[in-house]
Amino acid sequence: MDTMSSASSAEDLLRHYAPPPGYDEAMQPDRALRPGWQTLMAHLNRLSAPRLESLRQQARQLLLENGITYNLFQTEPDNVRAWELDLLPLIIDQVEWLQLEKGLQQRHQVLERLLEDLYGKQEVLRSGVLPPALIFSHPGYLRTCHGLLRPRGVSLPWLAVDLSRTAQGSFQVLGDHLQSPTGAGYALENRQILFRLLRQPLNDNYVRLLLPFFSTLRAHLHEACPSVKEDPQIILLTSGPTDKLYFEHAFLANYLGLTLVQGEDLTVRGGRLYIKTLDGLHPVDVVLRMLNDAQCDPLEMGEDEFSGVAGLVQAVLGQRVAVLNHPGAAVLENQALLGYFQGLCRHFLNEPPQLAVTPTWWCGDPIALEQVLDELDHLAIQEYAKPLRHGGDLSGADRQAMRQQIMARPEDFIAQTPINPSTIPVMTAAGVRPGRVILRAFATANRQEVEVMPGGLARVLLESGQAPSFSDRSGITKDVWVLSHSPAVVRTNRLPLERLSEPSFFTGELSSRTAENLFWVGRYAERTENSLRLLKVLLLLPRPESMAIWEGEGLEALRLLYQALTLVTDTLPGFVGEGAAGRFLDPEKELLFLIRSPECPGGIHASVQALALAAHRVRERLSNDTWRVLNQIVGLYQQLSHHKSTTDMVGEMEGLITTLAALAGLAGESMTRGLGWRFLDMGRRVERAIFVLQLLRATLVPALEQEGERILLDALLSVSDSSITYRRRYRTHFAVKPFLELILLDESNPRGLASQLTSIDLHVAALPRRGAMPSYRTPSGRIILETVNTLRMAETDLLGAVGDTGTRSNLQDLLGRVQVLIPLFSMELAHAFFQHSPSRALRGGIH
Amino acid sequence: MLYRISHLTRYAFSESVAISHNLAWLHPRATRWQSLQHAHWAIQPAPAIIQERRDMFGNRVHYFEVLEPHHTLVVESVSRVELLPTPTLRPAASPPWEVVKGMLATTRDPDLLLEQHFLLDSPLVRRSSDLASYAAASFPDRRPFVEGVLDLMERIYKDFTYLPNATTVSTPLEETLRRRQGVCQDFAHIAIGALRSLGLAARYVSGYLETLPPPGKPRLTGADASHAWFATLLPGVGWIDLDPTNNLLPREQHITLAWGRDYSDVPPLRGVVLGGGRRPLLEVRVDVLRLDDDQERNGVSPLSNTPLVHGIA
């Protein structure tokens, strides 16, 4: 690894560290280390270079394992989680932290009151503390929320604030995140990783724990319940796997013990919010929403019909549910407010601000506008929802254009003094280098108190000489260590629990969407495995192009197997349709297409991708072990698809098949036998049944001579992983009749068709249904019973019989009948349990 | 003057709708010159819940849910409104428009400060230099404010062609300004954008026109559907309504439903449905009837009774 040499000067990692002038987080101007850094560096300097490099790699690997599977296949670079975790934390001393804490507490108090006022009496506007146009012109000011704020708890139970240091080393506020403060989950994840890697320096420094903060957050959510309830239903609302931050949502939901839902899981009826589950509607009391305001309620706010829940605002208005942070909070994210914070602080609390803000001017104020236009060269200019631009970086013509734009619509612009954050050492592949760091701090509040997370998420940009822009989400993150002077803090220092509490009384119930996705996880996992088994067997057999070694019958058997591949993967023409003969004699291209091409809808790529996506959608239902196995599956598949020739692929195929089997094993071993497991298992069994049917129909309906049959049956037993069972029972005598007995009719063979059907029948009997109706009265129950019975009444002797046309027509009939019934069953199941219709917006007419 | 208004909206869906959530700005608000005597709903299928609230402009908004499967949704609002005589304007006596602009920009009056909603951009109306220059012709230096606004209204009336279906809700204002055609809503938006581009306040008014005028009076344009016009603010006097579609000051024939920054704040009906297939067919019928003294006394409605059930008072 080329990075080894760079870390070899490990005796003193910071020997060559030379931060530019200004405040550095690790070193004082005399190069003496700041508090906390001595113990950390002493620890790291004791480690060998390879050990350090290994820690760096482990950090990366753990981060990857935790969350990345879901976006491996997503093409937009936007969706790739670009965080990296640096081993070196941002360290903040206790005394300094206490001051910061006070400042954040005060800030929360002001913002909470401001929100209430802006959507209520609007005293700050009427009295001139804030120019009304500043609020009215901001897209975050939601008029529909006016008069809406009457929560039992606070409106802003959590808050994130971005901070940076000034050249003098004091903190100043860069901005607030209030709609759905993100990053707390990442902060927690970073800490969990460093607990594994740097436990000793964490303990030696008495670094404060994050866990109590999350317990408090959980308690505050509980308290926000609009009615007094022992065990309120609290959910975490996400826009789903397409959200860049979905991993964090799933992670937080899991940790806080909240039910993770999407808009389509919810419905408002009679002005009350409900979650749709397989056994009916359950009322929801508190929603921790990870959506922006505009996505919360398509009826009231959004242009987007497909996110959020129609009627949610009305449910909030009726005080039947608390949505947190309160809808409308976006108005507080208006950076123009920074320039007015002092006045707001005086207005609401009658005290000066304890925490400075970045000097900010709102151009909608004529006096500020004049100043800004005069000083344009020295300011950073920001238009709403546009990237920051530095006046000094612009050419003369561009600066003139900007001047015009500002004057045309001054209220859309703010100007700020450019920030120049403190520097901090970063361990890069090229050694320790200075980066610029900003800190995202978090707080949670109820009516009585504001608690600040003793830690946070630090984001770093490597020093490049250019003005830093932290607007995009990529980059390096750091854990934030808040030092305590008391060893009492660390007595309980241990790996944080995997989750704070189990999802409340919701356990066992399952949303329709989750059931559907688990069903598809089962189907795609099985589909991938089946296709791979067949492919592997084909690759191990002699190639059709090496004609010479094949007797005529052998070639025929091989042709049937290749045809089966096309049929089970549904990739016509392939080895069946037009051009099949040519492809059969030179199958490499078609095989590679099936295995590697993203454009092949029935191919392995598509199956693995669909598996990853479905699994990702139910991330919170899957154990960490399961997730790790899914990661391996995706990783192995990627290795597999790098090969240019199929002859090199068998090894990885076997690895993949084993890993897929491990996935099935985990589901069998580590999932509780609830409805979730039933849907997952049904998906698997439906898919396996379809596979067996297609495979047999493609290969055994035409009858071959003995030699061909032997090759065929041997291959089929291998594909269905039943060779050993068969040999134990029937020795080496290959014949169609015992084969059909084992693969088709034997209910005790877990790889055979019959056992799939009887298992499905058992699952169906356990599904929720109306009243005391027996399961065989439901459409899906009836179909599966019919299928089981069809198979039970079949006679092996007749099935094996070859008719005048040289085909096994009885077998063909039976397989055909069952082959119609199974998709029908799948459809009925979907109809009964998964049904989702997309919603759309209506507009009234006016002329 | 007493009016009975019936506003019926019918959506026909190609596929069954499982559930729908709706908001309606269909009950007239009370104003200085208008009192609401009575209003009720006839919605089919019957809503599971209907709740009223005020939006931030003081309009009456109704939220309702239809929870039974349906292929058609019929929403009818029936109301009875009394219009009071409005005072006559003396345009020449109003202050120069620059003075009005200055008052709006620099006021410290708490109530006037909150009217700044109507000076700024809104979702469907963005200020622009094109709109400003269109407005400028009506506002030469020192012209009395009301004279200027009346002139602007008349110019829109003359410059623009009333042409149904020429525009949709999503047609940008610049395009309407360029093509010089549209419906009442577009004309109102043009006027609002023009005034705001000069730094004057303007709001959108949604309402109705009398369907059949009294003998001897012409039938006004836009009478068989909902209508829209605009209003502008003269500090100290209040909001003045103007109807650019008919070039007149609304009085006695215009019933106000609701107002906002533009159409998007006060659509008569807005909803989200689950299911329903592709675009539903939409049918709107508005009847605005002047009640004479007899009808008023007996409470007899001369309107045909629409066969809708489930009225909600």
pLDDT at A708: 87
Summarised one tens digit per residue, pLDDT across range B264-273 is: 999 999 999 8
Helix A552-569 to helix A512-540 angle, to the nearest 10 degrees?
Answer: 160
Cα–Cα distance, B187 to B189 (Å, whole number)? 5
- Residue type, position B131, single letter: L
Q: How confident is the model at residue A612 (pLDDT cuts 50, 70, 90)?
A: confident
Q: What is the mean predicted confidence (pLDDT) over A24-48?
A: 92
pLDDT at A777: 83
Q: Is B169 left (phi over 0), alpha (psi -120 to 50) or beta?
A: alpha
Say yes or no for a CB contact (<8 Å) between B53 and A267.
Answer: no
Q: If we measure between CA atoms, which residue out of A304, A319, A481 comes closest to residue A841?
A: A304
Does B300 score more than 50 pLDDT? no
DSSP state of A283: E
Q: Which of B120, B129, B271 sits opposite A842 (nearest CB)?
A: B271
DSSP state of A287: E
Which tokens hold the place of A199?
Answer: 């436990």
Say yes or no for a CB contact (<8 Å) between B226 and A125.
Answer: no
Q: Which of B21, B56, B116 sits opposite A133 (nearest CB)?
A: B116
Question: Residue B188 — φ and ψ, nearest 5°?
Answer: -60, -45
Summarised one tens digit per residue, pLDDT across range A100-123 is: 999 999 999 999 999 999 999 999
Say yes or no for a CB contact (<8 Å) between B206 and A132.
Answer: no
Cα–Cα distance, A303 to B83 (Å, whole number)? 36
pLDDT at A835: 56
Does A187 score more than 80 pLDDT? yes
Question: Residue A508 — φ and ψ, nearest 5°?
Answer: 95, -35
Q: How confident is the model at residue A839 (pLDDT cuts 50, 70, 90)?
A: low
E strand map for B179-268: 181-182, 202-209, 227-234, 238-242, 254-260
B13 in Cβ contact with B273 (< 8 Å): yes
Residues 6+ apart with CB under 8 A from B172: none
Give B9→chain A minimum CA distance, Å.
8
Does B205 score more than 60 pLDDT? yes
Give A136→chain B minimum CA distance, Å.
6
Residues 6+ apart with CB under 8 A from A130: A124, A337, A340, A343, A344
Q: Is A728 left (phi over 0), alpha (psi -120 to 50) or beta?
A: alpha
Q: Which of B56, B164, B280 sits opposite A842 (nearest CB)?
A: B280
Does A30 score more than 50 pLDDT? yes
Summarised one tens digit per residue, pLDDT across range A627-670 is: 888 888 988 998 899 899 998 899 999 999 999 999 998 887 77
Mutate to test the interface with A, among B60, B113, B181, B286 (most CBs of A within 10 A): B113
Q: Which of A143, A837, A847 sits opposite B56 (nearest CB)?
A: A143
A182 in Cβ contact with A245 (< 8 Å): yes
A513 in Cβ contact with A241 (< 8 Å): no
Run of H or E residues at B174: helix B173-179
Q: Which of B53, B120, B169 sits opposite A411 (nearest CB)?
A: B120
Q: What is the largest distance, in Å, between two alpha-carbon atoms of chain A? A: 100
Give B243→chain A minimum CA distance, Å.
14
Q: If we measure between CA atoms, which residue out of A716, A681, A723, A683 comes closest to residue A698?
A: A716
Q: What is the mean predicted confidence (pLDDT) over A358-382?
A: 93
Distance of CA A100 to the CA centre of its chain: 32
Q: Which of B48, B53, B119 sits opposite A270 (nearest CB)?
A: B48
Q: If we measure between CA atoms, which residue out of B215, B217, B212, B228 comes closest to residue B303?
A: B212
pLDDT at A11: 62
Of A544 and B50, the structure prediction assigns the larger pLDDT to B50
Say yes or no for a CB contact (<8 Å) between A136 and B116.
Answer: yes
Q: Is A270 left (phi over 0), alpha (psi -120 to 50) or beta?
A: left
Q: Is A36 left (phi over 0), alpha (psi -120 to 50) or beta?
A: left
Does A460 score more than 80 pLDDT? yes
pLDDT at A549: 59
Mean pLDDT is lowest, of A29-38, A256-265, A783-792, for A256-265
pLDDT at B243: 96
- Residue type, position A243, single letter: D
Cα–Cα distance, A225 to A222 (Å, whole number)? 6
Question: Residue A650 — φ and ψ, nearest 5°?
Answer: -60, -40
- Assess A777–B contact: CB distance below 8 Å, yes or no: no
Q: If we measure between CA atoms, which residue out of B240, B258, B237 comes closest to residue B249?
A: B240
pLDDT at A74: 42
Interior angle at CA A300, CA A141 and CA A279, nearest 5:
130
Cα–Cα distance, A367 to A361 (Å, whole number)? 10
Scanning the structure block, which residue is given the tokens 């006394």? B297
Question: Residue A73 — φ and ψ, nearest 5°?
Answer: -100, 0
Which tokens hold the place of A716?
Answer: 């089929």
Say yes or no for a CB contact (<8 Å) between A127 and B110.
Answer: yes
Give A127→chain B minimum CA distance, Å.
6
Which tokens hold the place of A452?
Answer: 């600040």
pLDDT at A71: 42
- Assess A317–B contact: CB distance below 8 Å, yes or no: yes
Q: How confident is the model at residue B93 (pLDDT cuts 50, 70, 90)?
A: very high
pLDDT at A428: 84
Mutate to test the interface with A, among B63, B125, B208, B263 (most CBs of A within 10 A): B63
Summarised one tens digit per residue, pLDDT across range A229-255 is: 888 899 999 887 777 777 788 888 878
Does A70 score more than 50 pLDDT? no
Length of chain A: 847
- Assess A411–B contact: CB distance below 8 Å, yes or no: yes
- Assess A143–B contact: CB distance below 8 Å, yes or no: yes
Which tokens hold the place of A704?
Answer: 């071959």
Instruction: Give the count of Cβ contacts less than 8 A between chain A and B.
Output: 129
pLDDT at A653: 94
- Assess A465–B contact: CB distance below 8 Å, yes or no: no
Say yes or no for a CB contact (<8 Å) between B271 and A311.
Answer: no
Q: If we measure between CA atoms, which residue out of B84, B61, B13, B59 comes closest to residue B254?
A: B84
Q: Which of B120, B265, B272 sits opposite A842 (nearest CB)?
A: B272
Ranked by mean pLDDT, the top range of A15-24, A504-513, A527-536, B300-309 is A527-536
Mean pLDDT of chain B: 89
From residue B235, alpha-carbon distances to B105, B106, B146, B239 in Å are: 11, 12, 12, 8
- Assess A837–B contact: CB distance below 8 Å, yes or no: yes
Cα–Cα distance, A195 to A185 (Å, whole number)? 15
- Assess A299–B contact: CB distance below 8 Å, yes or no: yes
Say yes or no for a CB contact (<8 Å) between A136 and B222.
Answer: no
Say yes or no for a CB contact (<8 Å) between B267 and A843.
Answer: yes
Summarised one tens digit per residue, pLDDT across range B122-171 is: 999 999 999 999 999 999 999 999 999 999 999 999 999 999 887 777 78
